[in-house]
Amino acid sequence: MSHFLSSPFRKRLGAVVLALFASAPAVAQDKVLNLYSARHYQTDEALYSNFTQATGIRINRIEADDAGLLARLKAEGAASPADVILLVDAARLWRGEQDGLFQPVRSSVLEQRIPAALRGADGGQGSQWFGMSTRARVLVYDKARIKPTDVDTYDKLAAPALKGQVCIRSGSHPYNLSLFGSVLEAQGPQRTEAWLKGVVDNMARAPKGGDTDQIRAVAAGECGVAVTNSYYLARLLNSRKPEDIAVVEKVAVMFPDQAGRGTHVNVAGAAVARNARNRTAAVRFLEYLASDDAQRYFADGNNEYPVVASARSDNPALVAMGRFKSETVPIAKVGANTAQVQQMLDRVGFR
Ligand code: FE
């Protein structure tokens, strides 16, 4: 462009450009938050754009699954550009904490709004991660073939009445590792391993597919009962597609262990990265996720349950599924049990 700008103009332009460069790094650092997210829900877009609207901080998102993000953070080390990490399972959050990928956060907002049982351990400088939404691990069963009393506890997945009836995804998927980690906490190693063996013996087929595939297999008559996260069923309940409506007409939901310890709930949670460049904005984002609006979003957008008591939602699927009693075991303990669970799965042949 230099050939058609007069030289005085060029000088002024040069000064402006220099000024921009001088201030650019500070501004950019303040206004962009690098988010590593394992949340695989398209509806999350609104969650991020609301934050940008309220704060002017743009979100630069990198998506991968939990394991992929943890590996990437490890490989990047101190050079990692990550500010905030979102993972969708307690065992993975625990893993990230163990591997030193997060940093503790002390925030009165987060401590007041998020129950202690749904946060990482607090070693004195604050928790390393915070559960932001929960999902129940429920049983979905064929209401024509299976009696509710045959599926009202996790224990009964191993009972003779369900021989050849159980559909479940891979045992070492984080959702199952966390469920089994909760069973281990409640029942101890001997009973848990015997139970896992019983579940394997009761399978209708070798584990394959995701949670939604298990629900569909129940509707197709391939199995009597499926293990699934609550939001996958809620998604089908809210769907208007004829094939989804046909599925939900055949099945019913059970929240196990209502007369005992309560249904297992897992968390999706957030942490500030160990080497976050923009710590202030990162904490601000975590506090935003705990706001009533963002919490309602988790329920309305992805059919999860809010962790904040004051957050209200009228999501029709969640209302239809009803209220239930959750387990009260600290979710961080469940995460810590999963290494032991994996060894049991190998021994009983639960792939
Ligand atoms: Fe999921």
Question: Which tens digit of pLDDT belongs to each residue from 289-346?
Answer: 999 999 998 888 889 999 998 888 889 999 999 999 999 998 888 989 999 999 999 9
Q: Output the average pLDDT for the chain.
A: 91
40 CA from centroid of ligand 1 (Å)? 7
Whether 8 has a pLDDT exceeding 70, the answer reads no
42 CA from centroid of ligand 1 (Å)? 12
Confidence of residue 45 (pLDDT cuts 50, 70, 90): confident
Task: Count the Cβ atoms, other than its own, within 10 Å of residue 119.
Answer: 24
Cα separation of 300 and 117, whole Å? 23
Q: What is the mean pLDDT of residues 219-223?
A: 98
- What percent of the chain has a predicted confidence (pLDDT) above 70? 91
- Looking up tokens 């059919």 gives 303
User: For residue 43, what pLDDT is reported?
Assistant: 79
User: For residue 171, what pLDDT is reported?
Assistant: 98
Lookup: tokens for 163 = 């021989």
CATH number of the structural domain 10-133+267-312: 3.40.190.10
User: For residue 317, what pLDDT is reported?
Assistant: 96
Q: What is the mean pLDDT of residues 91-113?
A: 95
Q: What homologous superfamily does CATH list for 135-264+326-348?
A: Periplasmic binding protein-like II (3.40.190.10)
User: For residue 101, what pLDDT is reported?
Assistant: 97
Confidence of residue 30 (pLDDT cuts 50, 70, 90): low
Give the predicted TM-score (pTM) of the model: 0.87
Whether 17 has a pLDDT exceeding 60, the answer reads no
Sign of CA dihedral 62, 65, 69, 72: negative
Cα separation of 305 and 231, whole Å? 9
Phi, psi of 106 (to 5 degrees): -105, 115
23 CA from centroid of ligand 1 (Å)? 42
311 CA from centroid of ligand 1 (Å)? 22
Phi, psi of 104 (to 5 degrees): -65, 145
- What percent of the chain has a predicted confidence (pLDDT) above 90? 82
Q: What is the mean pLDDT of residues 137-160?
A: 98
69 CA from centroid of ligand 1 (Å)? 15
Largest CA distance in the chain: 90
User: For residue 3, what pLDDT is reported?
Assistant: 35
Q: What is the mean pLDDT of residues 5-27?
A: 42
- Looking up tokens 């990482």 gives 120
| Cα 235 from chain centre | 15
Q: What is the pLDDT of residues 47-85, one digit of tens each?
A: 899 999 999 999 999 999 999 999 999 999 999 999 999
Domain with CATH 3.40.190.10 in the chain: 10-133+267-312, 135-264+326-348
Cα separation of 333 and 94, whole Å? 9
User: For residue 29, what pLDDT is reported?
Assistant: 55
7 CA from centroid of ligand 1 (Å)? 60
CA dihedral 118, 307, 154, 191 (to 10 degrees): 10
Q: What is the mean pLDDT of residues 25-30?
A: 51
177 CA from centroid of ligand 1 (Å)? 14
User: For residue 313, what pLDDT is reported?
Assistant: 83
- Looking up tokens 């069963």 gives 141
27 CA from centroid of ligand 1 (Å)? 36
Cα separation of 73 and 120, whole Å? 19
